[in-house]
Amino acid sequence: MGVSVCLASGKDGVGRSTITVNLGIALSKRGISTVIVDGDIEGASFGLILGVDPDTPSLHECLAGKTTCEEAIIETYGVNALVGGITIEQLVNVSVAGFSNILDKLTERFDIVLVDSPAGLGTDAVTILSNCQSVVLVLTPDINSVTNTLKTLAVAKKVGTAILGGIINRTGGQYDIPSDKIEDLLKVKIIAEIGEDELVRQSLQEGVPIYAENPDSSFSKKITDIASKLVGGS
């Protein structure tokens, strides 16, 4: 049986999806059987980050019972991916209730199932957080993000999801809260700090994940470090 890890955040726009996709590619490159799942049901973005055809079967069709996750998984940039649908039509008749079954199937087949959870504490986010075995919290170094992360953390503890650590993304600003202070506030180990890197947005615009397009970028190097920490290697 594989393990399920969700990347969650209290606030939106902190870099969860970008980190999940690129981390999945990095883990796959190490030979670890990995699938990335776009669990951000209302705000799916894997297809855009990976530059896949919008008609690609998605998690939405799986949740709506129109296809199986076996049929919907694609392989791209060396990683297995269950992308989310990006149209309003794909949200019709979609319920997160079926997520737990899909996750069971994926953990039977893959060693690591990385799930991008929606931001905040709505039903979708809490369902995904509760169903995954562990969580990595993604935040930015500002008081708004830290405050909202505390709420996600409280829910993770309540539902018994193991907390693997936090990733502080988009650092390097003049008014950043220092990571040791964030660690103190959250009482969670910070496993990585990722600086602001313009190449991340370039890769989004080009529809090619940065880990593939710019493996030597500062962002990609941090992703390699996180992959090592997650699997306990170097």
Site residues for Mg ion per CB under 5 A = 17, 40, 45
Name the pairing type of β-strands 79-82 and 74-76. antiparallel
Measured from the CB atom, the residue of 40 and 61 that comes closer to ligand ATP is 40
Q: Which of 121, 204, 208, 231 binds ligand ATP (CB under 6 A)?
A: 204
Q: Give the span between the Cα atoms of 150 and 141, in whole angstroms.
A: 13
Q: Which of 62, 200, 212, 223 binds ligand ATP (CB under 6 A)?
A: 200
CA angle 100, 138, 79 (to 5 degrees): 60
3-state secondary structure at position 88: coil
Q: Give the span between the Cα atoms of 122 and 203, in whole angstroms.
A: 29
The window from 56-64, 147-155, 182-190, 197-205 that contacts ligand ATP (CB under 6 A) reads 197-205
Nearest by Cα to 200 from 17, 11, 76, 7: 17
65 by Cβ neighbours in 10 Å (0-12 / 13-18 / 19+) ranks as: exposed
Measured from the CB atom, the residue of 67 and 91 that comes closer to ligand ATP is 91
Per CB under 6 A, 196 contacts ligand ATP: yes
Q: Which of 36, 114, 132, 170 binds ligand ATP (CB under 6 A)?
A: 170
Per CB under 6 A, 13 contacts ligand ATP: yes
- Residues engaged in binding ligand ATP (CB under 6 A): 9, 12-18, 40, 43, 45, 119, 169-170, 194, 196-197, 200-201, 204, 219
